[in-house]
């Protein structure tokens, strides 16, 4: 492993995070949500650092060597490896919410298609689905779960600014879509984050199916 660690981070801690990321990535790859080396994943290591996937690797076959340490400004720490191009979207989560410890970004067909379909509306609004209760803080199908769709760009600061603007307007945010691209979601630990992602994919799938059927 070409990853050197700061004295304050024990190897066992970094390895635990790397293994948790690789395990989650393998499950998501089998589902087909990480096509053609897309998608990226991270976990917080401590108040100032996160572990994140190195750019361009096949997400179904990650090992510890495919995960690297960064600081919360997105700089590589103790390695020459290049973090994902979208690292700034991960560190934004860790900086804004001290209680959040994992971020998953996937790229399923449903996520890509839903983002295109609802891009003009600026958001997908979900209501009436029992599974909304799988998102932490939701206790009834009668609530509205709003997932913004931001325009895609190859320039990350634009996206960071859009997320900040949404949050600074005081709106709740548990996940967001990027147009033609995929989804970002997070949670207090990897299990909660995976549950959020699984529920969001299910809800988007249901919403698209219902749209097709209601038109018929």
Complex with a second copy: residue 51 or 200, whichever CB lies closer: 200
CB of 126 to a second copy, least distance (A): 10
Q: Least Å distance between CB 134 and a second copy?
A: 4
Smallest distance from a second copy to CB 74, Å: 20
| Site residues (vs a second copy, CB under 8 A) | 35-38, 107, 109, 112-113, 116-117, 128-131, 134, 139-141, 152, 154, 178-182, 195, 198-199, 202, 205-206, 208-216
Pick between residue 37 and residue 75 the one whose CB is nearest to a second copy: 37
Asked if residues 102 and 42 have their Cβ atoms less than 8 Å apart, the reply is: yes
Alpha-carbon distance of 88 to 192, in angstroms, equals 22
Three-state DSSP state, 100: coil
Q: Under a CB-based contact definition with an 8 Å cutoff, are residues 187 and 102 in contact?
A: yes
| Closest distance to a second copy from the beta carbon of 197 (Å) | 9
């Amino acid at each position: 492993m070409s990853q050197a660690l700061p004295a304050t981070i024990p190897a066992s801690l970094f390895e635990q995070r790397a293994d948790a990321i690789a395990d989650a990535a393998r499950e998501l790859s089998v589902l087909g949500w990480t096509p053609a080396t897309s998608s990226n994943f991270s976990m917080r290591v401590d108040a100032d650092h996160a572990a994140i996937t190195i750019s361009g690797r096949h997400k179904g076959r990650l090992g510890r060597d495919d995960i690297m340490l960064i600081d919360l400004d997105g700089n590589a720490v103790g390695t020459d490896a290049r973090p994902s191009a979208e690292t700034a979207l991960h560190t934004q989560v860790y900086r804004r919410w001290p209680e959040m410890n994992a971020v998953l970004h996937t790229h399923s067909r449903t996520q890509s298609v839903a983002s295109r379909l609802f891009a003009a509306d600026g958001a997908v609004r979900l209501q009436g689905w029992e599974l909304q209760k799988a998102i932490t803080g939701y206790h009834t199908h009668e609530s509205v779960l709003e997932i913004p769709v931001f325009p895609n760009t190859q320039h990350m600061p634009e996206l960071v600014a859009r997320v900040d603007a949404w949050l600074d307007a005081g709106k709740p945010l548990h996940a967001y879509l990027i147009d033609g691209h995929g989804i970002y979601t997070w949670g207090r630990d990897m299990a909660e984050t995976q549950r959020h992602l699984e529920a969001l994919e299910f809800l988007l799938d249901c919403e698209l199916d219902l749209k097709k059927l209601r038109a018929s």
